[in-house]
C-alpha cells in the first residue's frame, strides 16, 4: 500500500506542473467510485434507478462530417437509462464546443448513436480495439451479439471491412429509444453548461462513506483540488 500512496503523493506534487496531464492520470481512481457516485446522485434527486457496474471509458461519438470521433469520458447504464459522464478536474477546462457536441449527442437516441458508431467500425484501422468495445456493448444490450460474432472473426488484415448489409442494433431493444442523460463530474457546478454537474463536494461525501485506507488517501488528494 505504501507504494500506492507514493503514487498519490506524486499526483499531489505533479498536478500543479504546467504540462502535466493530471486529469488523464487520476480518472482511473475515480472509476472505482463512479457507480456509487452516480447511484447516490440519482438518489439525491429522488430518481429510483439501479446503476449497473457497466462503465465504458472514451466512448466514441461520431463526427457528423466524417468518421472521426469525439470521445465521451464515460458511458454508464442504470436499469432504465443511459448516462453520459464528462469528467473535469478544473472548471476552467470547460469548453463551449464540448458542450455543443454533448448537446448534439443528447438529442440522439441510442439507436442513432450505435449506428453512427458502426460507421466508425467499418472504416477503422484499429479493429482489434473496437472488437473489445463491441464485445462490452453487445454484452450489455447496446450492440448486436450476432454482428459481434461476425466482426470477431474478421482479421485486421482484411480492413476496411464490408459490413454494409449488417444491422448493428441489439436483439434486445431496451435502451435503443433512450437519449443519454449528460452529467458533468467537476470541482464546482458549471454554470455556463446546459447540463447538471455532480460536484466534488458531493463526490467527497460519497467516498467518505468508504472506510478503507485507499479511499481515505484518495479523499485527501481530492481535498487538495477543491
pLDDT tens by residue, 138-154? 988 889 888 888 888 77
Number of domains present in the structure of the chain = 1
Residues 199-224 have a mean pLDDT of: 94
| Residue 42, in any domain of the structure | yes
| Residue 79, in any domain of the structure | yes
C-alpha–C-alpha distance, residues 152 and 139, integer Å: 14
Domain that holds residue 11: 1-51+73-94+182-226
Query: How far is CA 34 from its chain centroid?
Result: 10
| Residue 196, in any domain of the structure | yes
Q: Are strands 69-78 and 51-62 parallel, antiparallel or unpaired?
A: antiparallel
pTM greater than the 0.85 cutoff: yes
| Residue 189, in any domain of the structure | yes
| Residue 222, in any domain of the structure | yes
Using 50, 70 and 90 to split pLDDT, how confident is the model at 186?
Answer: very high
| Residue 123, in any domain of the structure | no
Q: What pLDDT does residue 1 have?
A: 59
User: How far, in Å, are 24, 32, 146, 164, 166 from residue 28 at the CA level?
Assistant: 8, 7, 31, 36, 35
Phi, psi (rounded to 5 degrees) for 38: -65, -40
Strand partners, 183: 85, 196
Amino acid at each position: 500500500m505504501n507504494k500506492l500512496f507514493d503514487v498519490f503523493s506524486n499526483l499531489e506534487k505533479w498536478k500543479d506542473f504546467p504540462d502535466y496531464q493530471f486529469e488523464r492520470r487520476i480518472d482511473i481512481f475515480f472509476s472505482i467510485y463512479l457507480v456509487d457516485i452516480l447511484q447516490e446522485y440519482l438518489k439525491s434527486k429522488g430518481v429510483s434507478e439501479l446503476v449497473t457496474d457497466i462503465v465504458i471509458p472514451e466512448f466514441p461519438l461520431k463526427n457528423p462530417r466524417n468518421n472521426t470521433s469525439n470521445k465521451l469520458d464515460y458511458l454508464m447504464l442504470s436499469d432504465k437509462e443511459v448516462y453520459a459522464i464528462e469528467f473535469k478536474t478544473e472548471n476552467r477546462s470547460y469548453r463551449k464546443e464540448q458542450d455543443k457536441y454533448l448537446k448534439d449527442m443528447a438529442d440522439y437516441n441510442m439507436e442513432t448513436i450505435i449506428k453512427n458508431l458502426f460507421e466508425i467500425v467499418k472504416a477503422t484501422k484499429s479493429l482489434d480495439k473496437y472488437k473489445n468495445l463491441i464485445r462490452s456493448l453487445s454484452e450489455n444490450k447496446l450492440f448486436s451479439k450476432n454482428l459481434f460474432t461476425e466482426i470477431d472473426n474478421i482479421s485486421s488484415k482484411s480492413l476496411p471491412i464490408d459490413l454494409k448489409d449488417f444491422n448493428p442494433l441489439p436483439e434486445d431493444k431496451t435502451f435503443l429509444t433512450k437519449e443519454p442523460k449528460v452529467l458533468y463530474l467537476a470541482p464546482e457546478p458549471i454554470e455556463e453548461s446546459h447540463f447538471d454537474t455532480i460536484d466534488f463536494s458531493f463526490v467527497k461525501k460519497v467516498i467518505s462513506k468508504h472506510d478503507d485506507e485507499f479511499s481515505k488517501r484518495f479523499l485527501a488528494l481530492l481535498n487538495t483540488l477543491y
